[in-house]
Amino acid sequence: MRLIAKARASDDPIDEPLRALDWWYPEDELGEPKMEAVLAEINGWKTELQSNAEGILFRKDREGRHHHGPQVADYNELKADGSTACGAWIYSGVFNRDGVNKANTRQSKDYLGHGWGFSWPSDRRIIYNRASAKPNGEPWSERKKLVWWESEKWTGIDVPDFKPTKHPDYRPEGNESGLDGHRGDAPFILHEDGLGWMYVPKDLQDGPFPTHFEPLESPVRNSLYSRDTNPVVNWFTRAENRFAPPGDPHFPYVLTTYRLTEHHTAGGMTRFLSHLSELQPEMFVEMSPELATELKINNSDYVCLVSLRGAIEARALVSRRIRPMKLNGKTVHQVAIPFHFGAAGPLRGNAANNLVAISGEPNVTIMETKALTCNIIPGRLPRGAAFLDWIERYAPQSGQPANLHPEQPPLGAPSGGKFSRIRGNERSAG
Amino acid sequence: MIGEGIESTNQRRHSYVGDRIEVGFFTDPTVCIGCKACEVACKEWNQVPDDGFTWSGNSYDHTGHLGASTWRHVLFLEQDRRKGDQITGSMGGLSPQSATVSPTQTNPQSDDPFRWVFVSDVCKHCEEAGCLEACPTGSIVRTEVGSVLVQNDVCNGCGYCVVSCPFGVIDRRPAPLADAGGAFKCTFCYDRQKSGLVPACAKVCPTESIVFGRLDDLRARGADRVQHLQQSGYDDAQLYDPQETSVRGLHAFFLILGEPEAYGLPPKPQIPTIYLKSAWTSAIATAVATLIVVFAAFFFFG
């Protein structure tokens, strides 16, 4: 308030936002703004002053004047002409005319949890709930029904996430805007045509039908096709991002990464919390007793994991939960590492990201961190200059091309997938 | 009000303390997922300090055991045994043919049972509690709901309770941790219960492997669960609630698969005070015998 008073006293244009600030919130007994007044503003109201109308939750502002009209029921009542105001449209409906702060309710009325908190927007619990009903509006399943067409409107357990009066047979003419452009049997409201896009003639680089290619790094060849890897994958070929060819004897073991319950992603949020960190305090690698015996590794020993991208050290956790696989008659061992550890914080452990490669799944460009190959060297990891000799011995790559995998495009070539197609188009256009 | 009108006793508000109703924990490892949320919630609510960042090498269990700063402990047990009617076998032995074997059949050549069992251990709040009987200061008391509570402002840190617990639950907190020297263990969240709230561990348990509620309800529920599991192929399911020994039953009892020893639970727990009579008898007999010898010495050599 002091800042606003100062801004009012000045005529500097830089103070204009403060001069225009509408700090209307009624105050509680401690002189703090009432939090529910903020929530009422987030929900939104009609701006026309109607001092006697129903549905006004806070009739007076902090100076005792009327401030706004009734609350809006939900975002469908919001208008772009200034007659309504709203703090966040997706929360519109959280604190509307009935005066119930729905974010603070804890009484479930049904199995979708209506009555327990507020689910934006409009307290819908399941997105695309139109898909629970057949094109003609009857539920597919009596047991799992969500919304259905009944006596000329949509009704049901959930709140329909489309206009509740849209007839199942509705067909757009082609000149409508917004959701009116969707057919009455099109549930996927966030897609421009309202359809599910299982199979579409554009945008998807791969799919939709399942098939099998080996991971970019694999100890075996593909049994299904003559080609080992997905032909439209992005390799991102770089000298720092090499891939081992299939069956490379330098990297005989399958490596996978996973998450622990106690930590979050790379551990940045959890490695510094003592009550979580003490439950999983150090980097480890899980391996089968068979592999541990073969490599003369005891449980809790330090071992080094090495891939073409780098090397880390970890404690060996020998468990029968990990079993050797038999692939094409050959025994292949698998090891597994969590990836929550790193250099900072009270915990010890190397980062799993030092081992993984950068690649891109064709549709969404997610990299392949769950299937790699590696080698295991018992003992601690050398530091400093000794590390460079060590890694050249176990992952030799000096003087070699960036594309070691036979199906990988060379450095600078189109790397496959979405990106190569764009580059290809540019090239043909030019 | 939060928690009203909810059926699960783990989420519902209650008035057990005011109504003086005996309560308990029923812990069921067959639905435990090993998330350790109970351990974290316990430490957060009760402001128990962290007590070491030591990697154990023992499965995912880096907590080890209950103690002064560990009031919930999720035990991870890896056993070469079958869990219920699970299909077992090494991956190498799994041929395309054996993959179509029905769940009741297993391939004898690849039969290689293995199971990973999680169970959340806690103070048992014994019907006859060794710690309570041993406490010379009156610091350890029985509450209205039947739980055993250490009043840390009364405890003088003598440690008699530590050796008297048949389960090794209670312990004195070492320096440099906060409140070092005093004895600590699970409070059954007595402070929360007084306010109608459920103990923190049960409140957060996502699978309700820890169930909080009236002890009589829980015992009936536990018996039903064992029967159901045994009918579903868990031949080795049993309740651990020793009512025949001197602890005379537990307020926090467990369903276990296999023998209690594998879970660090004594098969026949006894409280040390049952030896009081024989201890005093032999002490008095020794004193009398010593006096006789002394008098006899005066008589013969005097």
| Residue that wins the pLDDT comparison between B3 and B159 | B159
Q: Give me the CATH number covering residue B201.
A: 3.30.70.20
Which DSSP string do the residues of A190-236 spell out, in sequence order? TSTTS---SS-SSS-SS-SS------SS-SS--SSSS--S-TT-B--
Amino acid letter for position B174: P
pLDDT > 70 fraction of chain B, expressed in percent and rounded: 90
Measured CB to CB, residues of chain A less than 8 Å from chain B are: 106-108, 260-262, 274-282, 284, 299-300, 315, 317, 319-321, 323-326, 331, 346-347
The nearest alpha carbon in chain B to A262 belongs to B35
User: In angstroms, rounded to a whole number, what is the distance separating the alpha carbons of residues A200 and A204?
Assistant: 7
B78 to A321: CB separation less than 8 angstroms, yes or no: yes
What confidence category does residue A429 fall into, taking pLDDT thresholds of 50, 70 and 90?
A: very low
Enumerate the residues of chain B whose CB falls inside 8 A of the CB of residue A315: 55, 57
Phi, psi of A36 (to 5 degrees): -70, -25
For residue A178, give Cα distances in angstroms to A156, A189, B33. Answer: 24, 10, 45
d(CA B255, CA B265) in angstroms, rounded, equals 12
Helix (H) or strand (E) holding B255: strand B252-257
Residues of chain B positioned with their CB less than 8 A from the CB of A326: 91-93
Which chain A residue is nearest to residue B113, measuring alpha carbons?
Answer: A320
Q: Which whole number is the average pLDDT over A52-80? A: 90
Tracing tokens 């508000």 back to the chain, one arrives at B13
Element (H, E) at A294: helix A289-294
Residues of chain A with Cβ-Cβ distance to B90 below 8 Å are 323-324
Inter-chain contact A319–B78, Cβ cutoff 8 Å?
A: yes
> Which candidate, A212, A210, A207, A233, places its Cα nearest to that of A224?
A212
Answer whether B243's CB lies under 8 Å from B63's CB: no
Nearest CA in chain B to A260: B35
Distance CA A392, CA A102 (A): 62
In this structure, are B237 and B286 located in the same domain?
no
Q: Do B62 and A261 touch (CB under 8 A)?
A: no
Domain total in chain B:
2
Q: Rounded to a whole number, what is the distance in angstroms from the first to the last CA of chain A?
A: 61
Q: Do A262 and B2 touch (CB under 8 A)?
A: no
- Across the interface, which of A275, A284, A317 has its CB nearest the CB of B43? A275
pLDDT value, residue A343: 85
- What's residue B296's pLDDT? 93
Query: Tell me, what's the pLDDT at B94?
Result: 47
Confirm if A345 and A271 have CB atoms less than 8 A apart: yes
pLDDT at A105: 86
- B164 to chain A nearest CA, in Å? 28
* A chain contacts of residue B96, beta-carbon cutoff 8 Å: none
Same-domain pairing of B139 and B186: yes
CA-nearest of B255, B213, B216 to B6 is: B213
**pLDDT (average), residues A39-63:** 89
**Residue A316 pairs with which residues in a beta bridge?**
A285
Query: Which of A409-423, B4-18, B245-259 shows the lowest mean pLDDT across its residues?
Result: A409-423
Q: What whole-number distance in Å separates Cα of residue B138 and Cα of residue B155? A: 8
Is the pLDDT reported for residue B103 higher than 80? no
- CA-nearest residue to A349 within chain B is B55
Q: Is B5 a domain residue?
A: no
Contact B224, B233 (CB under 8 A): no
The confidence score (pLDDT) of residue B240 equals: 97
> What confidence score (pLDDT) does residue A230 get?
92
Give the Cα separation of A222 and A215 in Å (integer). Answer: 9
- Residues of chain B contacting residue A325, judged by C-beta atoms under 8 Å apart: 91-92
φ, ψ of residue B172 to 5 degrees: the values are -90, 145
Confidence of residue A418 (pLDDT cuts 50, 70, 90): low
Q: What is the band of A334 on the pLDDT scale with cuts at 50, 70, 90?
A: very high
**Same domain for B265 and B278?**
no
Mean pLDDT across chain B, nearest whole number?
90
CB spacing of A260 vs B60 below 8 angstroms: yes
- The verdict on B76 and B211 lying in the same domain is yes
The model's pLDDT over B31-90, given as tens digits with 9 standing for 90+, comes to: 999 999 999 999 999 999 998 899 999 999 999 999 999 999 999 999 999 888 887 655
**Residue tagged 């357990």 (tokens):** A157
pLDDT digits (tens, 9 = 90+) for A103-132: 988 888 888 989 889 998 889 999 999 999
- Tell me the C-alpha distance between B65 and B43, whole Å: 15
Q: How far is B226 from chain A (nearest CA, A)?
A: 26
Partners of B26 in beta bridges? B211, B253
Q: What is the pLDDT of residue B160?
A: 96
> Does B282 fall in a domain?
yes
Distance (Å, rounded) from C-alpha A40 to C-alpha A44? 6
Tell me: pLDDT of B6 over 60: yes
- Do residues A78 and A92 touch, judged by C-beta distance below 8 A? yes
**Which of B53, B57, B93 minimises the CB distance to A347?**
B53
Question: pLDDT band at residue A52, thresholds of 50, 70 and 90?
Answer: confident
Look at A106 and B4 and tell me if their CB atoms are within 8 Å: yes
What pLDDT does residue A106 have? 80
| Judgement on whether residues B246 and B294 belong to the same structural domain of the protein | no
| Å between A338 CA and nearest CA of chain B | 12
Question: Please, are residues B211 and B222 in contact by the beta-carbon 8 Å criterion?
Answer: no
For residue A279, give the nearest of B3, B39, B92 by CB distance.
B39
Identify the sign of the CA torsion B190, B193, B197, B201.
positive
pLDDT classification of B5: cutoffs 50, 70, 90: low
Q: List the one residue out of B170, B200, B188, B183 whose CA is nearest residue B67.
A: B170
A286 closest CA partner among A379, A376, A395, A390: A376
Identify the pLDDT of residue A430: 32
Task: Give the per-residue pLDDT at A137.
Answer: 94
Q: Which one of 2.40.40.20, 2.102.10.10, 3.30.1330.30, 1.10.760.10 gives the CATH number of domain A253-394? A: 2.40.40.20
Which residues are within 8 A (CB) of B51 and not within 5 positions of it... i.e. 6 or more apart? A278, B67, B68, B69, B70, B177
H helix or E strand, kind and range, residue A78? none
- H or E element at residue A388: helix A385-394
Q: Helix, strand, coil proportions of chain A in percent (round to 5)?
A: 20, 15, 65
Hey, is B171 helix, strand or coil? strand
User: Would the pLDDT of A29 be above 90?
Assistant: no
Q: What is the pLDDT of residue A417?
A: 53
In this prediction, residue A294 carries a pLDDT of: 96
| Radius of gyration, CA atoms only, chain A | 30
B277-289, pLDDT tens digit by residue?
A: 999 999 999 999 9
Domain holding B123, by residue range, is 16-270
pLDDT for res A329: 87
3-state SS class at A423: helix
Sole residue written with tokens 């064992």: B226
Q: Do A274 and B50 touch (CB under 8 A)?
A: yes
| CB-CB neighbors (< 8 A) of B34 in chain A | 261
Q: Are residues B140 and B286 in the same domain?
A: no
CA-based nearest residue to A41, from A97, A104, A88, A103: A88
In this complex, do B44 and A275 lie within 8 Å of one another by their Cβ atoms?
A: yes
CB atoms B78 and A320 under 8 Å: yes
User: Which residue is closest to A316 within chain B, CA to CA?
Assistant: B57
Q: Are A331 and B1 a contacting pair at CB < 8 A?
A: no
Using CA atoms of A261, A267, A273, A277 in order, give the dihedral in degrees to the nearest 10.
60
Same domain, B32 and B107: yes
Listing DSSP states for B79-122 in one string gives: ESS--TT-----GGG--TTGGG--TT---GGG----EEEEEEEE
Q: State whether B80 and B50 are in the same domain.
A: yes
CB contact under 8 Å between B5 and A107, yes or no, is: yes
Interface of B with A (CB under 8 A): 1-6, 34-36, 39-40, 43-44, 49-55, 57, 59-60, 62-63, 78, 80, 90-93, 114, 116
Q: Which residue of A has its CA nearest to B54?
A: A281
Over range A315-344, report the average pLDDT: 92
Rounded to an integer, the average pLDDT of A166-177 is 92
| HEC letters along A167-199 | CCCCCCCCCCCHHHHCCCCCCCCCCCCCCCCCC
* Collapsed DSSP state (helix, strand, coil) of residue A240: coil
Contact A275, B40 (CB under 8 A): yes
Query: Is B208 found in the same domain as B111?
Result: yes
Tell me what pLDDT residue B110 has.
Answer: 54
> CA-to-CA distance for A88 and A43, rounded, in angstroms?
7
**Between chain A and chain B, how many beta carbons pairs sit less than 8 Å apart?**
73
Length of chain A: 430
Query: Which of B5, B62, B80 lies nearest to residue A279, judging by beta carbons?
Result: B62
Residue B172 counted as domain residue:
yes
Q: Are the C-beta atoms of residues B78 and B109 closer than 8 Å to each other? A: no
Residues B282 and B227 in one domain: no
| pLDDT over 50 (residue A289) | yes
Check CB contact under 8 Å for B50 and A106: no
Which pLDDT score, from 0 to 100, does residue A297 have? Answer: 97
> CB distance B90–A282 less than 8 Å?
no
Coil, helix or strand at residue A325 = strand
User: CB neighbours of A332 closer than 8 A, spacing ≥ 6?
Assistant: A219, A220, A252, A253, A254, A324, A325, A326
In chain B, the N- to C-terminal Cα span, in Å, equals 86
Same domain? B156 vs B279? no
B2 domain-assigned: no
Average of pLDDT values for B177-187?
94
A326 vs B92: CB contact, 8 Å cut-off?
yes
Show residues of chain B in contact with A323, CB under 8 Å.
Answer: 90-92
Same domain, B221 and B302: no
Does the pLDDT value for residue B157 go beyond 50? Answer: yes
Residue A297 falls in which region: left (phi positive, over 0), alpha (psi -120 to 50) or beta: beta
B44:A281 CB<8 A: no
Q: According to the model, what pLDDT value does residue B89 have?
A: 59
Asked if the model's pLDDT at residue B210 lies above 60, the reply is yes
List, in order, residues 6 or more apart from A23 with CB less than 8 Å away: A1, A4, A33, A62
Name the band, by pLDDT with cuts 50, 70 and 90, for residue A423: very low
Residue A82 predicted with pLDDT over 60: yes
Half-sphere exposure of A347 (CA within 13 A, CB side): 29
Whether the CA torsion A62, A65, A68, A73 is positive or negative: it is positive
Evaluate if residue A291 carries a pLDDT over 60. yes
Question: Distance (Å, rounded) from C-alpha B126 to C-alpha B240?
Answer: 12
The predicted structure's pLDDT at residue B105 = 45
Query: Please, which residues have CB within 8 angstroms of residue A151's CB and are 6 or more apart in sequence?
Result: none
| Span(s) in chain A for CATH 2.40.40.20 | 253-394
